[in-house]
Amino acid sequence: MAKPSGFMEYERVLPADREVRTRISDWKEFHGSASTEEEHRNQAARCMDCGTPFCHSGILYEGAVSGCPINNLIPEWNDLVWRGRWKEALERLRLTNNFPEFTGRVCPAPCEGACTMGSMDMPAVAIKHDELSIIDRGWKEGWLQPTPPARRSGKKVAIVGSGPAGLACADQLNQVGHEVTVYERAERPGGLLMFGIPNMKLDKEVVSRRLALMEAEGVHFVSGVEVGTTVPAAELLARHDAVVLAGGASKPRDLPIPGRDAPGVHFALEFLGSSTRRFLSGVPEATISARGKDVVVIGGGDTGTDCVGSSIRQGCRSVTQLEIMGRPPEGRAQDNPWPRWPRILRTDYGQEEAASLYGADPRLFLVTAKSFELDPKKALAGVTIVDVEWVGDDKGRMLSRNLPGTSRTIPAQLVLIAMGFLGPQEALLSSFGVEADGRSNVKAEYGKFATSVKGVFAAGDCRRGQSLVVWAIDEGRKAAREVDRWLMGTTMLP
């Protein structure tokens, strides 16, 4: 595939992100995009004829995926880009991925972690950038036009939730002629793509553009409706031949320590949603604002990074990010060989911006919060933190232990809890009467996606737990196949 010697002739080169001091003054995407035709082709040419393309394998090792969960045909579309056949590359890309413009911006690229280059300690092929280049060119050239199905099946499907799983499921089912209605409790469709990921990481015009295309192809969106409350589950079941639950894992993990009820302590998605709503509406200040405040973000994942970047753009005085885990190594450890996902230190855009603005990486590793402190006026004033160590118990489990004498208080007038999610909202599950699994997610076998209630299916984070956008797309696509099979007796969906 591509140029057999390309990986030896060309270095991995990515467009530079926008300059830090410039990008933190606005909410435009920070990604760089300027590449010449020759640069695009050279990067695609690095995708060597490796024989076994681990990049699109999607294999799980110890809970982490190696390669692409949706099995993108990466060597094939890289070969077509190298040959200058962009439209064909787009066609190959769209065979497996409904929304490359989303994954090309926000996916952590497990495909690159599994790239065969890693077996030789060489920089991976720039797969994520190649993917984004293909889809962005497709939009620019006008190759993505509405293609509604030639005929309708007469079957109606309701999808609850308009995040990546719900959208992928809707897109697939609409393509085979079912009448699909997507219900979203927020005021706009898009789920976490719209309100969970900030604009500088995923421009909302990119999301709106895709939603508009889906509407033009026949998908119906109903926003501001909470299924199970505004619309009873029984009513939804009566009006449709099948229902797909794709509401995500929206129940956040809390931190029940002294002072938790203090004003100024919020869940991360409350803050990020408030920030995006301010951006979309053009109002001068978000409901939850970091302006002029010392901000403490508790949690070291992508959501925590988004809180750091958003706080900086809102004009915070300082920002600190607490991470209970240890600092990862710079390179792969002995117990983390290729092609497993590399557990290494990564400095994301938020940390890069904080370091540039305040002079140091905002992350504190092996630290946890003990209590939230109030001033005499009962306003949030700080967070008392303590260093921790991880020790094994007699059952082989690793547990954190506070280190004596390390307790101290850092200033904070805004605390954002970004510690992940525990599962879907219980009210949605109980309204449909579906069974939950041991982790409080909707119980539905992967590959079948059928719940305990006839005609009700589940896909995405509400079924598998908090995960990646690319896993949500995978589940939405595969759930659509099973819904189609259940409705029609057979299916042509992949």
Domain-terminating residue out of 419, 435, 452: 419
- What is the reported pTM? 0.96
Res 49 pLDDT > 90: no
Residue 339 preceded by cis peptide, ω within 30: yes
In the predicted model, what is the mean pLDDT of residues 74-101?
97
Could you read off the pLDDT of 324-376 as tens digits, one per residue?
A: 999 999 999 999 999 999 999 999 999 999 999 999 999 999 999 999 999 99
Bigger pLDDT: 158 vs 57: 158
Here the tokens at position 255 are: 């931190």
Q: Is 370 contained in some domain?
A: yes
Residue 33: per-residue pLDDT:
75
Whole-number percent of the chain with pLDDT over 90 = 91
Q: Please give the distance of CA 81 from its chain centroid, rounded to a whole number.
A: 26
Query: How many domains is the chain built from?
Result: 3
Is there a single domain that holds both residue 244 and residue 162?
Answer: yes
Is there a single domain that holds both residue 262 and residue 220?
Answer: no
Q: Is 108 contained in some domain?
A: yes
Confidence of residue 35 (pLDDT cuts 50, 70, 90): confident
Instruction: For residue 201, give the nearest of 293, 138, 107 by alpha carbon.
Output: 107
Here the tokens at position 311 are: 């706080």
> 48: domain CATH number?
1.10.1060.10
Residue 130: per-residue pLDDT:
96
Q: Is 1 contained in some domain?
A: no
Is there a single domain that holds both residue 335 and residue 429?
Answer: no
Q: Is 151 contained in some domain?
A: no
Residues 6+ apart with CB under 8 A from 185: 224, 225, 226, 227, 230
DSSP one-letter code for 493: -
Domain-terminating residue out of 419, 447, 469: 419
3-state secondary structure of 259: coil
| Contact by Cβ (8 Å): 189, 221 | yes
Q: Is 206 contained in some domain?
A: yes
Q: Is 148 contained in some domain?
A: no
| Contact by Cβ (8 Å): 66, 339 | yes
Residue 303: per-residue pLDDT:
96
Residue 425: per-residue pLDDT:
86
Res 201 pLDDT > 90: yes
> 466: domain CATH number?
3.50.50.60
Could you read off the pLDDT of 124-136 as tens digits, one per residue?
A: 999 999 999 999 9
Is there a single domain that holds both residue 350 and residue 458?
Answer: no
Is there a single domain that holds both residue 429 and residue 306?
Answer: no
Q: How many CA atoms lie within 13 A of 80 on its CB side?
A: 17
Q: Is 435 contained in some domain?
A: yes
Domain around 473: 156-250+422-488
Backbone angles phi, psi at 236, to 5 degrees: -65, -40
Instruction: For residue 53, give the nearest of 114, 4, 124, 123 by alpha carbon.
Output: 114
Q: Is 150 contained in some domain?
A: no
Is there a single domain that holds both residue 222 and residue 356?
Answer: no
Is there a single domain that holds both residue 273 and residue 401?
Answer: yes
Res 491 pLDDT > 80: yes
Confidence of residue 284 (pLDDT cuts 50, 70, 90): confident
Is there a single domain that holds both residue 55 and residue 72?
Answer: yes
Could you read off the pLDDT of 159-183 as tens digits, one per residue?
A: 999 999 999 999 999 999 999 999 9
Res 103 pLDDT > 70: yes
Could you read off the pLDDT of 408-449 as tens digits, one per residue?
A: 999 999 999 999 999 898 888 999 999 999 999 999 999 999
Res 1 pLDDT > 70: no
Is there a single domain that holds both residue 281 and residue 383?
Answer: yes
Is there a single domain that holds both residue 258 and residue 246?
Answer: no
Is there a single domain that holds both residue 165 and residue 278?
Answer: no
Domain-terminating residue out of 419, 448, 476: 419
Here the tokens at position 105 are: 């911006």
In angstroms, the CA 351 to CA 354 distance is: 5
Is there a single domain that holds both residue 291 and residue 382?
Answer: yes
